[in-house]
Amino acid sequence: MTELEEEIQRRRTFAIISHPDAGKTTLTEKLLLFGGAIHVAGAVKSNKIKKTATSDWMEIEKQRGISVATSVMAFEYNGCKVNILDTPGHQDFAEDTFRTLTAVDSVIIVVDAAKGVEAQTRKLMEVCRMRHTPVIVFINKMDREGKDPFELLDEVEAELNISVRPLSWPINIGQRFKGVYNIFEQKLDLYTPNKQVVTESVNFSDISSPELENYIGDDAEKLRSDIELIEGVYSEFSTETYLKGQLAPVFFGSALNNFGVKELLDCFCKIAPSPQPIHAIEREVKPEEEQFSGFIFKIHANMDPNHRSCIAFVKVCSGKFVRNENYKHVRHGKQMRFSSPTAFMAQKKSIVDEAYPGDIVGLPDTGNFKIGDTLTGGEELHFKGLPSFSPEMFKYIDNADPMKTKQLNKGIDQLMDEGVAQLFTNQFNGRKIIGTVGQLQFEVIQYRLLNEYNAQCRWEPISLYKACWIESDDAAELDNFKKRKHQFMAKDKEGRDVFLADSSYVLMMAQNDFKKIRFHFTSEF
């Protein structure tokens, strides 16, 4: 095995996804705790300790207690190099999460034991299914009163449309929660409510032995009948069906109390896939190829408020990325060198000299990159599947302080490059329109413009139904359409034609009247 192949084998790159409040960020923290990457978990809820979660570092996230940007973290564990991408759960930022899912090889879904599977989780599971991404389910908050575990499994199967197989099983729930039986490793893990320590575990391969009563008392009988039922109802666990994305192993625990997390991590390192081949438009790219290639799946402005810089996140797809080497920026067709590529531990970043497939590298960006750009050792490659969706909410953005026009324009430019929202310029009156997927994004934009660029903006409502990109092979028809609809024509940031329909009826009529024009609802066509 070459050095490259060895490094690829030990990489595990995955995203954690869930509904807001299911405990995703808490789980990320506990995984980092086991990886030795942080030494004390941020007691997020406690006011005595003014520490917030390691992965939420933007000011607005700390104030609201939600994650609005995907953060990237890496650590070593048991000989594996683990890369976690913690995604925003809030549905207004779903687009960021969809893009992140193109950069990972597997996914952990967190489900709240009391609430079960929620709408947002279903949507994200659709994306995983499209890409055949393997999924592990972690059912969180077992130390609170919640639904019956069998009921939860049925719900996961029905709602996420995937077969499940429990690899650990809870002993009671809520106040009476005593721990879990680890079916995967045949161990008994006993629970003591404490946020900072990991609880004891006992090797226990034969649960029919009367010794079980010494540990869990009256709950022993129920555990035996539950396990018997599981063996009878659910098919044997096979790594192969898991890797195809057809079977989801399920773990139970409580992330806040650090319980059941180690079992999840141990099993994950054993069964999760190492970096997989990725499809480019030209051909399939295998990770063990000699030539370096990678794509930008996210751009973030102002990682460091003292230096107004953007960082472009690159997922390494093949070969080895080396600092200070020349790489080809395919869209610009020019060579670029990176003297300070970084790797992340939340926002603490360190310069890296080399990176392997599966790793995420941050490149300082002065406006050279767009989401979806490809970097290669010289070959013309285009990775596909990083769409921008048609926005559903629109507002005019106006400058509230004429002295700060330059700052405002720069701020809008950089934030739009991040893909937070989309900018359209109305061709009729020259005004700028911001389109987003959710209401919260307007607040985030306004907040970040003020705090990061010292610029003030005002929003003005505008009633629009949808933005669609239009193209046609018939130049005369396109011209005629633009003349007829000149009040509703705009250009996006790339200068492409966008039709802003103000109602579904208007859009339908336009599609009927102009048969030779193609209307697109994502920017990738």
Name residue 387's amino acid. P
The reply to whether 108 and 235 lie within a common domain is yes
Up-side HSE of residue 68: CA atoms within 13 Å toward CB?
Answer: 25
Whole-number Å distance between alpha carbons of 151 and 159: 12
38 inside domain: yes
172 inside domain: yes
Provide the residue range defining the domain that includes 352. 278-376
Token readout for 446 is: 């306004």
The reply to whether 367 and 510 lie within a common domain is no
Whole-number Å distance between alpha carbons of 62 and 53: 8
Taking only Cα atoms into account, the Rg of the chain, rounded to an integer number of angstroms, comes to: 25
Whole-number Å distance between alpha carbons of 284 and 287: 10
pLDDT along the chain (525 residues), means of 10: 82 80 74 60 35 48 48 77 70 61 83 79 76 85 80 84 82 73 72 56 63 68 78 80 84 79 83 82 82 82 56 84 86 84 63 82 78 81 66 86 87 76 87 82 83 86 87 88 88 86 88 86 61
**Residue spans of alpha helices (H) in 94-146:** 94-101, 119-130
The reply to whether 311 and 419 lie within a common domain is no
Name residue 53's amino acid. A
The reply to whether 227 and 295 lie within a common domain is no
The pLDDT value given to residue 388: 60
The pLDDT value given to residue 96: 63
- 8 A C-beta contact, residue 311 and residue 363: yes
Instruction: Indicate which CATH number applies to the domain containing 429.
Output: 3.30.70.3280
The reply to whether 331 and 463 lie within a common domain is no
Q: Which of 251, 271, 291 is the last residue of a domain?
A: 271
Give the number of other CB atoms < 10 A from CB of residue 235.
Answer: 10
The reply to whether 152 and 33 lie within a common domain is yes
The pLDDT value given to residue 224: 78
Token readout for 327 is: 């790489």
The reply to whether 371 and 230 lie within a common domain is no
Instruction: Indicate which CATH number applies to the domain containing 39.
Output: 3.40.50.300
Q: Which helix (H) or strand (E) holds 452?
A: helix 440-453
The reply to whether 421 and 338 lie within a common domain is no
The reply to whether 166 and 221 lie within a common domain is yes
The pLDDT value given to residue 387: 57
The reply to whether 352 and 427 lie within a common domain is no
The pLDDT value given to residue 41: 40
- Cross-strand pairs, 119: none
The reply to whether 406 and 354 lie within a common domain is no
- Cross-strand pairs, 275: none
DSSP string, 403-429: GGHHHHHHHHHHHHHTTSSEEEEETTT
Q: How many domains, in total, are found in the chain?
A: 3
169 inside domain: yes
The pLDDT value given to residue 284: 82
Q: Which of 248, 271, 294 is the last residue of a domain?
A: 271
Q: Which residues contact 423 (CB under 8 A, 6 or more apart)?
A: 412, 416, 432, 433, 434, 435, 492, 493
384 inside domain: no
388 inside domain: no
